[in-house]
Amino acid sequence: MSSDLTPKIKFRLNGIDMEKEVPAGWTLLRYLREELGLTGTKCGCEIGECGACTVLMNGKPVNSCLVMAPQIENASIWTIEGVTPPGGTALHPVQKAFIECDAVHCGFCTPGMVMTTIGLLLQNKKPDNSQIKQALAGNLCRCTGYIQIFEAVRLAAAMISENDMRPFRENISEN
């Protein structure tokens, strides 16, 4: 790391409590990818336009390229790697829905799309078509024309239970 480090800060990443020094001048996106090796979060524009770097921060989808690493102090962060537990083969219903609807083409937008979808379903269990379109408006996709992604979000909404969503809600109220 070539950036100055902050004093140790506490945060929760994919359900695991952490206490670490973080690079002061880095974005969360860069910290995830280059320091923690969590490369599932993608870098597409670095100005918050494409949504490929979307992660959940306290249950809300954010562009990790617009969050500075030290800002995650006391926050709960979920990345795509946390959606399927390490080594696990059990996919989350949102992931299953994306596969089932063939909403995955080149796949570069997919982690961001999945995180945005989880974020939407945390707030709104039964979104209508217009709410789905609005929720995904910050996530660009160049391959699919979005149609299969809309289908995936609808299917996910039909499949999920509160159990599937509980981990992402944890410690939201604590902050």
Partner 1 sequence: MADYQSDDKCFNVVGSRVIRVDAVDKVTGRAKYGADYNALGQLYGVSKYADYPHAKIKSINIAKAKSLDGVRAVLTHENIPGEKSFGAITANQMVMCTDTVRFMGDVVAIVAAESQEIAEKAADLIEVDYDELPVVSDPEQALADESPRLYETGNLCFHHKVRKGDIEKGFAHSDIVVERDYSTQRIEHSYLEPEAVLAEPGENGGITIVGTLQNLYNIRRVVARVLNLPLNRIRLIQATLGGSFGGKDEVMSSICCRAALLAMTCGRPVKMTNSREQSMRESYKRHPYKMKYKVGLSKDGILQAMEIKVYADAGPYSAMSPFVTWRSVVQATGPYIVPNVKTDIYAAYTNNCYTSAMRGFGSPQICFATESLMDELAELVGLDPLEIRLKNILTDGSTTATGQTLNHKVSVGEALNIVSKKADFKARWQENRRQNINQVIKKGIGLSCSYRGVSLGAEGTDAAGVGISIQTDGSVVVYTGLVDMGQGAATTISIVVAEELGVTVDRIRFLNADTTAIPDSGPTVASRTSFMAGNAAKNGCAELLKRIKPVAAEILSCPESSLEFKDNKISSRVTNKNLDYGELAAACFRKGISLFSHGWYKGPTTTWDEHTGQGDAYFTFVYAANLAEVEVDTVTGQVKVTRFISSHDLGRTLNLNGAKGQVYGGVAMGLGYALFEEYGQDDGRPLLENFDEYLLATSCDVPEIDVIFIENPDLLGPHGAKSLGEPACELAAPAIANAITNATGLRVRELPLTLERVLLGKALSRKETRGSLKARSRKQ
- Give every CB contact of residue 142 below 8 A, 6+ residues apart in sequence: 106, 109
Phi/psi for 27 (5° steps) reads: -80, 160
Distance CA 175, CA 137 (A): 27
| Contacting partner 1 within 87-146 (CB under 8 A) | 91, 95, 98-100, 102, 104-111, 114, 132-134, 136-137, 139-146
Residues, the chain: 175
Compute CA distances 3 → 6, 137, 138, whole Å: 9, 33, 29
Question: Could you tell me the smallest distance in angstroms from the CB atom of residue 160 to partner 1?
Answer: 15
Nearer to partner 1 by C-beta: 11 or 98? 98
| Contacting partner 1 within 4-33 (CB under 8 A) | 33
Distance CA 56, CA 75 (A): 10
Nearer to partner 1 by C-beta: 76 or 139? 139
> Residue 16: beta bridge partners?
13
Identified binder of partner 1 from the candidate list 17, 21, 49, 128, rule CB under 8 A: 49
Binding site for partner 1 (CB under 8 A): 2, 33, 38-47, 49-50, 52, 79-81, 83-84, 91, 95, 98-100, 102, 104-111, 114, 132-134, 136-137, 139-150
